A and B are shown apart, each in its own frame.
Chain A
Amino acid sequence: MNPSSLKSRFTTRFLRALTKINAHKPISSSSPGPGEIFQRYRRIKVAADKSMAYSVRSRRTWSRATLWRLRTRSPRSRLATHARRSWVKTRSTRAASHGKEKKEDGGTVEAEELRELVPGGEAMDLCNLLDETAHYIKCLTTQLDILDRQECTSREL
């Protein structure tokens, strides 16, 4: 495996984060309450997203958006979300003015949906959006691959 590939970078970070979480809260055999489970799930999910986004640094728009979202979660939520919303609005209006000229491209409905799916995709024109989507899909598959392998190996133990 390429030592500096996306996969290896993500794996190292993710494993590190997981061990930290596990150390913090050991796995309980009995099924804990749904709230606790959900919290733990969130932590793991956050760890996965964060490690993935960090592996990509800020080279991609979606990673920047994800990092932003992680950093400005609940504590400073109101101020941060307001700032982010205004930023997104300015960029989306600019993109929309671009898009209005070239509206005949078609597929804007799906493009809207794609924008919602891909983090940080609200303020991008179709061309870059497709690029971001491709990279995002690649990263998601990497994530899944790692999670998958972890599951398998842990189960076989």
Chain B
Amino acid sequence: MQPCSREMQAMNPLLNPAQQIPLQDLQSTAHQQIQNPHFDPTSSHDDFLEQMLSPLSSCSWSDLKSPWDPPKSDDTGPSNVGFHYDEILASKLRQHQINGGGVSSPATAAIKMMTQQQMLLPGRGVAAMPLSLGTSGGAAGSHHQNDIVDGSSFKSPNQQGGEGSMQSLYNGFSDGSLPGTNQTQHFHHPQAPNFGATAGTVMKQSQASGSTTPAQPKQRVRARRGQATDPHSIAERLRRERIAERMKALQELVPNANKTDKASMLDEIIDYVKFLQLQVKVLSMSRLGGAAAVAPLVADMPSEGGGDCANGGGSIQRNSNGNQTSADNDSVTVTEHQVAKLMEEDMGSAMQYLQGKGLCLMPISLATAISTATCHSRMNPNKGGPLLQSNGEGQGPSSPSMSVLSVQSATRANGGLDGSASVSKP
């Protein structure tokens, strides 16, 4: 914080509220101070801030403002002082309002004050500048410029203002040309009752003119009252907001988007993406014709189906036309045998087992009816396609004779068409 403390100490004599320094003397001293980049590091950083925090005497602020005028404003000095007086009172009021919310640290309070001042004096590019210089990070004049141009969230004067930019500002002041003519123009603008509006417009003007006026819109500071103005946390907040809005957009895309928790929402999204990819695979497989084609593909995905309907679409299209080579359909036959065994014992457990795999039992006639019906309907990813394993109604607890797919492919074959992807569709 070395550079900050240095230029802060420069301001110390200016801000000492106890002193009633005549205007001209202050001007001269200020000019000297500014032109002399070498400052004596006597008082500490905190002292300066506390001095600033002590009740803002109107004298100190007006003294602060006027020194930065270009030399020709000597004659306009007193008038400006008187002009500022009201503003300063108003600023004090506002500052008290803001500080009512609680001040986290002297630094943040100082920053709030600064920004208040800046907001009150929109056209006072010159005046605003010493404020920014006063704050340790005010050197980020360009930084503020970017803020204003972006219209983005409030960024407090950066505490870690780069030293280089500080020096450039100093050089600008020493030249006397930097604030120059532009500022004087703004300086003499009649003060509009609505500070906010003029702040916006004049800010933009000063922006365009290329000055380094760091002014902040009023309401942003209000909103951030009591919160840390640390740039890191601001960046964090921004990032979180962006992520939140992206999540909202995703929520609309993904069905079952009633989860409010971000983690569960992400889980939903992941499942949905997996499901979609799988469906593309399955559909493209079905174009080849023949349900047998799908078997090797599906056999690779063991427990894709859980209870989740969407995932149930994964374990679709188990098998075949009744001629199953065991090599291909090991998992399927195993499942079928398992189910058959369970059915011998207890129907309920068999159903549970099937449900665990995302399958269900239904009579063949119903299955055919469904499959023919789904041909005309669109794919609805919500329902997915639970695998249908059929059990002939009249048959005993023997192993399931045919899968629904076989029935379908039979009917399909009659139609002479390819594929039997309709099982995937509800």
Contact = CB atoms under 8 A, between A and B. Distances in A.
A143 B280 contact: yes
A105 B419 CA distance: 46
B89 interface: no
Contacts of A150: 287
A145 B425 CA distance: 12
A137 interface: yes
A43 B108 CA distance: 63
A102 B280 contact: no
Given A27-B288, A110-B270, A151-B421, A137 B280 contact: no
A155 B408 CA distance: 12
Interface string A94-109: 0000000010011100
A110 B284 contact: no
Interface stretch (B151-159, B169-177, B260-268, B349-357): B260-268
* Chain B, interface SS category: helix
A44 interface: yes
B370 interface: no
Query: Interface size class for chain A?
Result: 35 or more
A23 interface: no
B47 interface: no
Nearest to A130: B246
A126 B417 CA distance: 45
Nearest to A34: B296
Contacts of B242: 127
Interface of A: 18, 27-29, 31, 34, 37-38, 40-41, 44-45, 48, 102, 105-107, 110-111, 113-114, 117-118, 126-127, 130-131, 133-134, 136-138, 140-141, 143-145, 147-148, 150-152, 154-157
29 contacts: A31-B289, A31-B290, A34-B292, A38-B296, A44-B285, A45-B280, A45-B284, A106-B262, A106-B263, A110-B263, A110-B270, A114-B270, A114-B273, A117-B273, A134-B246, A137-B250, A137-B253, A137-B254, A137-B269, A140-B273, A140-B276, A147-B280, A148-B378, A148-B425, A151-B422, A152-B376, A154-B418, A155-B419, A157-B417
